[in-house]
Structure 1
Amino acid sequence: MGGFKKFLLRGNIVELAVAVIVGATFSGLVQALVTDLITPLIGALTGGRQPDFAKYSFTVNGSEFKYGDFLNHLLAFLIIAAVVYWLVITPMTRLVSLFERDQAATTKQCPDCLSEVPVEARRCAHCTVELVPQSEQP
C-alpha cells in the first residue's frame, strides 16, 4: 500500500490531475460560450428560424441529423485548439529555441561521411577520415 501511496503523491501525477480538471473546466466554459453566445449571434445574423444552433437539423428517411449541435462542438474545438496553440505551443517553442540557441555545439558533421562526431575529434570514428579540431581552425 505504501508504494501505491508514493505513486499517487508523486509530483507528475498530481500535476496531471490538476491539468485534467482545469482542462475539463475550460472545455465546459468554452462550450457554454459557443452555445450561449456565439452560435445564437450567428443564428441571429443569418436570419435563422431558431436562435439556438443546437436545434438546427434535417431529416432523411426518418433519421434526424443534428448539424447545429455538431457546429457547436466544432466551434468549441476550434476555440480550444487556438487557445492551446497560442498560449501553450507558441511560447514553449520560443522558449525551447532560446535554450537551444544559447547552447554551444558539442558535435559537428564529418565532411566525408556526414556522421556526427565530437567537435574536438581529430579523426572520424565512422570513416576514419582526418579532421581538423575546431580549436586549431583559423
Structure 2
Amino acid sequence: MTGFKKFLVRGNLVELAVAVVIGAAFSGLVDALVSDIITPLIGAVTGGHEPDFADYSFKINGAEFKYGDFVNHAVSFLIVAAVIYWLVVLPMARLLSLLTRDKAATEKQCPECLSDIPVAARRCAFCTAVLVAPAGSPASMTAHAPGRHSA
C-alpha cells in the first residue's frame, strides 16, 4: 500500500494530471475556434453559406458513412498540432539552442577507446592511453613549462 501512495504523490503523476486537464480545456477552445471561426471562413470562401461538416455523409448499399464529423476533428487536430508546434516546440528548441550555444566543451573523446574524458586530461582514465593536451590548456602549460627543473 505504501508503494501505491508513493506512486500517487510523485511529481510526475501530478504534472500529468495537470497536463490532461489543460489539454481538455485547450481542446474545447480549439473546437470552438473551428466551429465559430474556421468553418464560417470556409463558408465565406466557398459561396457565402456556412457548411456544417458534421452533416456530410454518403451512402453505399444502404450503409451511411458520416465523414463530416471526422473532417471537423481532423481540422481541430491540425490546428492543435500547429499551435503546439509554433507556440511550444519552436520556442523551446530556440531557447535550448541559445542556452547550449555559449556552453564551453568540458569533455572530449579519447582517440583510442572513444570514451568521454575531461578536455584537459593527459591520460585516458578508461584505456590509459597517453593524450596530447591542447595548446594553451592548463595541462600543457604545467607539463612542459620552460624554466622548471625537477629537484
Quote the residue 1:16 is aligned against: 16
Task: Please report how far the alpha carbon of residue 49 of structure 1 lies from its aligned counterpart in structure 2 after TM superposition.
Answer: 7.7
2:37 and 2:96 mapped to 1: Cα distance? Answer: 37
Partner in structure 1 of residue 55 of structure 2: 55
- 1:55-134 paired onto structure 2 within 5 Å: 55-111=55-111, 115-124=115-124, 129-134=129-134
1:21-32 equivalence runs, <5 A: 21-32=21-32
d(CA) in 1 for partners of 2:3 and 2:61?
58
Counterparts of 1:80 and 1:52 in 2: how far apart (Å)? 20
Q: Which moved more, 1:128-137 or 1:79-88?
A: 128-137
Distance change in 2, residues 1:124/1:71 (3 Å) = same
- The SS at the match of 1:108 is strand
String of CA shifts for 1:87-106, please: whole Å, max 9, x gaps.
11112112222222233212
RMSD (Å), alpha carbons: 2.9
Letter in 1 for 2:132: V
Matched, 1:38 2:38: yes
Give secondary structure in 2 for the equivalent of 1:16: helix
User: Which structure's relative contact order is higher, taking Cα pairs within 8 Å and 6+ residues apart?
Assistant: 1
Unaligned runs of 5+ in 2: 142-151
| Alignment check: 8 A CA contact 2:42 2:50 kept | no
Alpha carbons 1:34, 1:72 under 8 Å: kept: yes
Whether contact under 8 Å (1:35, 1:53) holds in the other structure is: no
Please state how far the C-alpha of 1:58 moved relative to its aligned partner. 1.4
Structure number, greater radius of gyration: 2
Once the two structures are aligned, what percentage of the paired residues are identical?
70
User: Deviation of residue 21 (structure 1)?
Assistant: 0.6
Unpaired segments ≥5 residues, structure 1: none
How far is the alpha carbon of 1:121 from its aligned partner? 2.1
Scaled by the length of structure 2, the TM-score of the pair is 0.71
State the 1:76 CA deviation.
Answer: 0.5
| TM-score relative to the length of structure 1 | 0.76
